[in-house]
Structure 1
Amino acid sequence: MSLVGLSTYAYFWRFSDQVEAPMSLEDMLRDTARLGAELFQICDYAPLALMSDDELAATRDLAESLGLTLEIGTRGTEPGHLLRFLEIAVALGATLVRSMWTSGDDRPTLDENVARLRRVMPGYERAGVTLALETYEQVSSADLVSLVEAIGSSCLGICLDPANTVARLELPAEVTARVLPHVVNWHVKDFDFTRKDGWVGFSLVGVPLGEGKLDYAGMLADLPATGKDGRAINRVIEHWLPWQGDPETTTRIEAEWTQHNLDYLKENTK
């Protein structure tokens, strides 16, 4: 059965240096369990790559004691980097690593990524860990599908996040339909457009689930129960919450969105 969980992006402001006392990874794990979520995705969390074996073991022990499943996330396809995150996943007992086509100035072509992933995927397959490449505005969903199909591994799939692709003028419904056979993970966040001051242009921003443009019900109905890796497609909550002017207001609203979105997913399931 699909698990409902939170990402570090659900705590984006609360663990940032914009607040006086940022939450630690342990704080986020404990809060995730307190809220009744089943999974936590440690995604784009810089300290993760620097953790020692003992720190990784302690994190795994804490998650297990809290009844949480772990997933992890990074960016890029450089083989040494992806293999390091495979080691981290194994140490944490995580069976999914989310990554992205690019990382900073590293912007490989399709052919370069095919060559890179052919070096990496045998290790993921032996370990039973799935690599999920995310849909986002830096790469077309068609190219992403081409890459996954060129590799042809059951342990290489796609992390669906159609909110990201709007900035590439790819409609969420079209992206979902295109990548559907390869989806192994789902980042769930709602979004909407708001007018800029003076009605000059728009901003694409996050909103609580059910209040924006995300067709959650339609996506849920279309997605299969399991991905190509044979595992359930877990639903991971993220936010695009703009800064609200001060730390107190921002962190309060972020916590409210997290609770609301978690309740929404639990109430709206197959």
Structure 2
Amino acid sequence: MGKKMKLGLHTYTLHLWGLGQNWGIVADPRPKQMNLIQLMDKAVEWGLDGLHITGCDLETKDDERLREVREAARSRSLYLEYNCSRDEEFDPRLSDGVEAGIRIAEKLGADLTKLSLDIRRPRPLYGSCFHPEVMRQLCDCHDEVVAALPLLERTGIRLALENHTETFADEIIWLIEKINHPLVGACVDTVNSMGVLENPESAVTKLAPFAFCNHFCDHKLDRDQFGIRFHGVALGDGDIDCFKTYRTIQELSPTDRITFEIEWDMGDDSLEVAREKEMDACIRSIRYAREVLKIGT
């Protein structure tokens, strides 16, 4: 029997509502249909323990706004984790860099900053693990994190390096081991490894022992005469073995939190229809996490 886990929500789950990140549509950002404080009220209604939030959700990053968000979360007994990037390609509102991301997390009352490394890989993707062009970028990441270690030590914030859609698990582990500091670990995303054609189960197993946090996702692999497509669905509706993945994280990871994320695919639906389907998938995922995976029991 593994340890009891809390359940949190990555705000990207409701990206069609203007939360999380406007992935790939920076030229035409979607207006917010729900703000962060309203989402906090929903989180309480849904029985969640916390939120994994981004700069997109904050709207502004001045001290007054960060204090407002911190107090709103505390009054609702919600933990916060802060998600940021070194150099986000599609939505610059997520780009803070290492030290700024740590300072924002501290002011939010969050105990963790999740960092996307935003590696620009050469082609082809497969077989490019530890490519010289990648290593130069990883060394830059190393130097930036090492420079921020005194800040981590002063604040007690943990820094989690994500296997984002452009990094192999072994590259994240190499970086963590080279930095070699107890406040620097991983964020394991359960589907992102597909972005570099890496087996998702293998990536989760490798990263879980280092993982301070996670993005717990399910994707479905569709195949037709033109090829394959991997797209986001509600937990339990896809091809990720959620039971096995959950047990791996529960047993091997130092965290006691599962942060679920849905990368909902709107397909040919209108934005209005897709938005409602995304909300339904969010609610169904919470039910699946609680009733099927038994998270929190």
Match of 1:237 in 2: 260
Residues 157-236 of structure 1 correspond to what in structure 2 (within 5 A)? 157-195=185-223, 199-224=225-250, 227-228=253-254, 232-236=255-259
92-101 or 174-183: bigger deviation: 174-183
Give the direction of change, closer, same or farther, for the CA distance of 1:18–1:54 in structure 2 (3 Å limit).
Answer: closer
Residues 52-67 of structure 1 correspond to what in structure 2 (within 5 A)? 52-67=62-77
Q: Report SS of the residue matched to 2:17.
A: coil
Compute the displacement of 1:188 (Å).
Answer: 1.0
Compute the displacement of 1:109 (Å).
Answer: 2.1
Amino acid of the structure 2 residue aligned with 1:212: G
- Structure 2 segments unaligned to the other structure (5+ residues): 20-27, 89-94, 122-133
> 2: distance between equivalents of 1:211 and 1:217?
12
Match of 2:38 in 1: 27
Amino acid of the structure 1 residue aligned with 2:201: A
Give the direction of change, closer, same or farther, for the CA distance of 1:265–1:8 in structure 2 (3 Å limit).
Answer: same
Q: Report Cα offsets for 1:2-26 as digits up to 9, x if no partner.
A: 3201111111001267766622122
- Structure 1 segments unaligned to the other structure (5+ residues): none
Q: Report SS of the residue matched to 2:207.
A: helix
Report the TM-score, using the length of structure 2 for normalisation. 0.80
The size of the alignment, in residue pairs, is 264
Match of 1:14 in 2: 17
> 2: distance between equivalents of 1:119 and 1:218?
37
Aligned-residue RMSD, C-alpha: 2.7
CA contact (8 A) 2:18 2:31 kept: no
Compute the displacement of 1:49 (Å).
Answer: 7.5
Give the direction of change, closer, same or farther, for the CA distance of 1:216–1:259 in structure 2 (3 Å limit).
Answer: same
Match of 1:5 in 2: 8
Q: Report SS of the residue matched to 2:16.
A: coil
Q: Report Cα offsets for 1:213-259 as digits up to 9, x if no partner.
A: 2122112222345845xxx3411121111124212211111111111
> 2: distance between equivalents of 1:80 and 1:24?
21
> 2: distance between equivalents of 1:161 and 1:2?
17
Amino acid of the structure 2 residue aligned with 1:246: S
> 2: distance between equivalents of 1:18 and 1:49?
13
CA contact (8 A) 2:112 2:159 kept: yes
Of 144, 149, 157, which residue of structure 2 is paired with 1:129?
Answer: 157
Identity of aligned residues (%): 23
Answering whether residue 96 of structure 2 is matched by residue 93 of structure 1, we say: no
> 2: distance between equivalents of 1:140 and 1:127?
29
Match of 2:99 in 1: 83
61-70 or 8-17: bigger deviation: 8-17
Q: Report Cα offsets for 1:185-219 as digits up to 9, x if no partner.
A: 111110011235xx312221011211212122112
Amino acid of the structure 1 residue aligned with 2:40: L
Give the direction of change, closer, same or farther, for the CA distance of 1:189–1:200 in structure 2 (3 Å limit).
Answer: same
Of 128, 135, 138, which residue of structure 2 is paired with 1:110?
Answer: 138
CA contact (8 A) 1:6 1:236 kept: yes
